[in-house]
Amino acid sequence: MLQALPLLARNRIIAPSGFNRWLVPPAALAIHLCIGMAYGFSVFWLPLSRAVGITESAPSDWKISTLGWMYTLFFVMLGSSAALFGEWVEREGPRKAGVVAACCWGGGFFLSALGVYTHQVWLLWLGSGVIGGCGLGLGYISPVSTLMKWFPDRRGMATGLAIMGFGGGAMIGTPLADQLMRRFATPTSVGVWQTFVVMGALYLAFMLAGAFAYRLPAPGWQPAGWTPPLTQQSAVRAAGMTAHTAWTTPQFWLLWGVLCLNVSAGIGVLGMASPMIQEMFQGRVSASAAAGFTGVLSLFNIGGRIFWASLSDRIGRKPTYAIFFLLGVALYASIPTIGTRGNLVLFVAVFSIILTMYGGGFATIPAYLADLFGVGHVSAIHGRLLTAWSTAGILGPVLVNYIRERQIDRGVPPAQAYEITMYILAGFLVVGFFCNLAVQPVAERWFEQDAARVPGPSAHSSAAGAALNAPAGQWLAVAAAWLLVTVPLAWGVYNTMALARRLFTA
């Protein structure tokens, strides 16, 4: 059916002469701010756990552990769909991928609403978990190679801008969902299915707007005054290596380990942030203050994505990841001592820095891949690499949760139950450091073999051609586009800051 829609065809989204490249990042942000709500889905668990009892859980109500499988499905399906459809995204273009992602993510909300209305949990797993998870994967990778083609001079910054939205989506979606549920709640309904319908419609519209705003640069386009580095002058390197060849190289699997280990450590503590600070500072940090702590971490997660990715443009991807691992080892290893001394401010500061590197790792990895394998097929390569995220999404939380439970079962006080976990996570980062250290430039022979197997460079990846300059009038459109995405983001930041103040005023 999508083939019959000419507006979605790749050749219909080639930008005309004079197109302003700064119109593309807001389109990517529009999609990532929507799918980023995956991080905030826990706002629905408590209301859904009493969907039948309304004021308290009834015997027929769902358990939170049952609902939590949706969160697992999100990230398993994100990595799986990105790996399976990455080549399709690269071949068909970001607009078609964005439209499919919008239909999957928004449609998943609609199907989940039906599941809540009929009290069928499998519809929630299928709707938001599986179908919505596919939308996550397609929406996540759809802007990656597009932005790097528009910003070859600032690849890290460009992908950081888009992926920043994924970290910020929950800041917008969580307070919105809370307000909608309060608005729709009645003596016979907790208001979740109605909230799903409204949010599904909003996300569908916002993501479609982003998808239709995507444009690709014309063959041979490059920014005015920019000269490609010598390492990108080779014709076969300019075309970019295909995913089939890239994942047979040692560099791919070293980066897979780099991403998996960095994310495992970060997501492990992120998932337990609220109970951890309450147990390590028992009597000093309330539940509402702990919610403020998670809000602080969200802000640093977002800020780290643009900060570290932009910094990597200046110092390089490999040195950036070296900082992540070396600084991360020191910070994780210091947490038990900080907790024992009861220094709350230092504890929050350490975790805030850790979360900047967690977010920065996601934002920097696409540019790292493009540096090694070329930009021509980076969406497909990135999609396969995201299976490391799926693995880390299981490994990190399971490790932290089960070690904590085992320690408590052995009689260890809850405040000390995280010590071994922090040292193990620090060990993960040591291994990650050596994986990153082992990454070397991909030898020319790999590109030559790939070019021989798949002859001819990609039409959109030619390095030749003159730069195009955007007319001044387009800057009004740029300002309007950025306003549309920054207003909801600013609203989310405001709500998060209001929540974060509770941490030090409780």
What value does the mean pLDDT take over residues 31-60?
87
d(CA 419, CA 335): 8
Quickly name the fold that domain 19-220 has: Growth Hormone; Chain: A; (1.20.1250)
- Smallest CA-to-CA distance from 192 within 121, 127, 116 is with 116
Q: What is the CATH number of domain 234-459?
A: 1.20.1250.20
Q: What is the mean pLDDT of the chain?
A: 86
- Smallest CA-to-CA distance from 308 within 266, 348, 269 is with 266
> CA 440 → CA 252, 305, 368, 487, distances in Å?
11, 24, 11, 42
Q: What is the pLDDT of residue 24?
A: 93
Task: Please give the structure tokens belonging to residue 331.
Answer: 């910070």
| 363/473: higher pLDDT | 363
List, as one string, the DSSP characters of 36-69: GGGGGGGGGHHHHTTTTTSSS--TTSPPHHHHTH
The pLDDT tens digits of the residues spanning 268-312 come to 777 677 677 887 888 777 766 776 787 788 889 889 999 999 999
DSSP label at residue 465: S
- Paired strand residues for 14: 216
The pLDDT tens digits of the residues spanning 68-108 come to 788 778 888 998 999 999 889 988 999 999 999 999 999 99
> CA 487 → CA 104, 143, 159, 196, 494, distances in Å?
25, 21, 20, 22, 11
SS3 at position 186? strand
What value does the mean pLDDT take over residues 121-135?
94
- Write 194-199 long-range contacts (CB < 8 A, 24+): 194/113, 195/44, 196/109, 196/110, 196/112, 196/113, 196/116, 197/109, 197/110, 197/113, 199/37, 199/109, 199/173
Strand residue runs (E) in 284-425: none
The pLDDT tens digits of the residues spanning 240-261 come to 788 889 999 999 999 999 999 9
Asked whether the predicted pLDDT for residue 145 surpasses 60, the reply is yes
What value does the mean pLDDT take over residues 25-53?
89
| Percentage of residues in the chain having pLDDT higher than 90 | 45
Asked whether the predicted pLDDT for residue 234 surpasses 60, the reply is no
Q: Do domains 19-220 and 234-459 have the same CATH topology?
A: yes
d(CA 84, CA 97): 13
What confidence tier does 26 reach under pLDDT thresholds 50, 70, 90? very high
List, as one string, the DSSP characters of 88-156: HHHHH-HHHHHHHHHHHHHHHHHHHHHHHHHT-HHHHIIIIIIIHHHHHHHHHHTTHHHHHHH-TTSHH
Q: Could you count the other beta carbons within 10 Å of the beta carbon of residue 434?
A: 12
What value does the mean pLDDT take over residues 456-481?
58
The pLDDT tens digits of the residues spanning 411-459 come to 888 778 788 888 999 999 999 999 999 999 988 888 877 766 654 444 3
Q: Is 471 left (phi over 0), alpha (psi -120 to 50) or beta?
A: beta
d(CA 254, CA 151): 26
DSSP label at residue 189: B
Task: Please give the structure tokens belonging to residue 58.
Answer: 């009834």
For the chain, give every domain's residue range.
Answer: 19-220, 234-459
Q: Could you count the other beta carbons within 10 Å of the beta carbon of residue 118?
A: 9
Task: Please give the structure tokens belonging to residue 425.
Answer: 């996570």
Q: What is the pLDDT of residue 331?
A: 95
Q: Which residues lie closer than 8 Å to 482 by C-beta, 6 or more apart?
A: 22, 26
d(CA 464, CA 46): 56
What value does the mean pLDDT take over residues 30-35?
94
Helical ranges in 247-316 per DSSP H: 250-271, 273-280, 287-315
Q: What is the pLDDT of residue 462?
A: 38
- SS3 string, 195-242, reads HHHHHHHHHHHHHHHHHHHCCECCCCCCCCCCCCCHHHCCHHHHHCCC
Least confident of 177-181, 396-400, 427-431: 396-400
pTM: 0.84
First-to-final CA distance of the chain: 55
Task: Please give the structure tokens belonging to residue 257.
Answer: 């380990």
Burial pattern 362-383, b for ≥16 Cβ within 10 A else e, equals: bbbbbbbbbbbbbbbbbbbbbb
